[in-house]
A and B are shown apart, each in its own frame.
Chain A
């Protein structure tokens, strides 16, 4: 580890220790908001270090700082989950949970230094099961043609960059340039993106939000996605 990476890692560890208490739900909302701001500042600082190291050809060092940035982001999303949840914004809280899970998983893939993300992932799985109902997820199957590499912009089949891996602190991703056709859309148990879920179902002339259980006006698209129909309530049932 170079002296520059050691310096970055020390700063990361110092701030990460300060952030850690705020992933717990009962912490003060104001302090949690402050923790999110601190995390953002750390992410920005790490992003600048990653860019500098990447430009100066310190590949491994840039990959480590990029991974630290992803780890900070995962913690920030976990704290933000509670902020949204306590503000009665269940859908936003769910999005933060999913963002935290995805970022923590990505960090684990990026570099072995993210080993402690396994603990955070276990914590997030527990929150998913305790705070949210069982979800109905959707997934699309596309047939795609030309794809480009996000790093060299060459045809993804020609260059040597492996999608999902880091190169000088930048992640290689496949950029779809041509969708040939939509093959199918399906309901799946384990989607790639848990933000694609059935949000509401029809109850007589209204829609019930699957997360908040609130009744709202119909938007129409539920007819395509709704998987369950509620039986008509008895005449003497109290309205919610």
Chain B
């Protein structure tokens, strides 16, 4: 059944939390710290080793679209390794974690290229069922002064994505 009648499904939820152990977590699972922008596996926080890491299903098209737009994501995995992907069979979209450092955040034009890439991909993907779509993904940002990291978790409909830049600015303070 369509979820149009269910207002809860269509509300936007954006939570911002500190991620003080971000660098340690990356080291623990043998990933390198991004220099500009990267797509991180879904379970960096919980995984104990590299072997447990899993990428989101749609990391592949996003990596390709970024490459074609000449704004590639960095590969933070050790050379020659590849991670398995989580393949979900639900209309709800669980996306990869995007990690932005200050090198990107300080340049709003470049930042908007990446956010536009994700939202354009999603609008394309959900054509015909825009009102039914629920997307969930995280953005990790490096803070301007402390250089520590914060995590923004977005869950909600497509039209709520336009509020993300404001949340990123707030998280970066």
* Distance of A128 Cα from B68 Cα, bound (Å): 39
Candidates A117, A134, A139, A143; contact of B89 at CB < 8 Å: A139
Contact present for A191 and B1 (CB under 8 Å): no
Q: Which residues of B contact A183 (CB under 8 A)?
A: 86
Contact present for B132 and A196 (CB under 8 Å): no
Does B92 reach chain A (CB closer than 8 Å)?
A: yes
Does B98 reach chain A (CB closer than 8 Å)?
A: no
Closest to A186 in B: B90
Contact present for A117 and B128 (CB under 8 Å): yes
List residues of A (137-174) whose CB comes within 8 Å of B's CBs.
139-145, 147, 156-157, 160-164, 174
Q: Which residues of B contact A191 (CB under 8 A)?
A: 89-91
Interface size on B, residues (CB 8 A): 29
* B62 → A minimal CB distance (Å): 10
Contact present for A108 and B1 (CB under 8 Å): no
Q: Which residues of A contact B107 (CB under 8 A)?
A: none
List residues of A (99-144) whose CB comes within 8 Å of B's CBs.
104-105, 108-109, 117-118, 121, 125, 128-129, 134-135, 139-144
Contact present for A192 and B85 (CB under 8 Å): no
- Which of B68, B86, B132 has the most chain A CB atoms closer than 10 A to its own CB? B86
Contact present for A192 and B90 (CB under 8 Å): yes
Q: Which residues of A contact B88 (CB under 8 A)?
A: 139, 141, 192
Does B116 reach chain A (CB closer than 8 Å)?
A: no
Does A189 reach chain B (CB closer than 8 Å)?
A: yes
Does A7 reach chain B (CB closer than 8 Å)?
A: no
Contact present for A104 and B128 (CB under 8 Å): yes
Does A24 reach chain B (CB closer than 8 Å)?
A: no
Q: Which residues of A contact B82 (CB under 8 A)?
A: 157
Interface size on A, residues (CB 8 A): 38
Closest to B92 in A: A190
Q: Which residues of B contact A180 (CB under 8 A)?
A: 84
Contact present for A190 and B85 (CB under 8 Å): no
Does B46 reach chain A (CB closer than 8 Å)?
A: no
20 interchain pairs, CB-CB under 8 A: A104-B128, A105-B127, A109-B128, A121-B128, A125-B2, A128-B1, A129-B1, A139-B88, A141-B87, A147-B60, A157-B63, A160-B64, A163-B60, A176-B87, A188-B90, A189-B1, A190-B3, A190-B92, A192-B88, A192-B89
Can you add 12 more A-B contacts, CB < 8 Å, to A144-B84, A162-B65? A105-B127, A109-B127, A128-B2, A129-B2, A139-B89, A141-B86, A142-B87, A143-B84, A157-B63, A157-B82, A160-B64, A190-B90
Residues of B that sit less than 8 Å from A by CB? 1-3, 9, 54, 60-61, 63-65, 67-68, 82, 84-92, 124-125, 127-129, 132, 134
Q: Which A-B residue pairs are the 9 nearest by beta carbons?
A: A190-B91, A105-B128, A108-B128, A192-B89, A108-B127, A139-B89, A142-B87, A139-B90, A109-B127
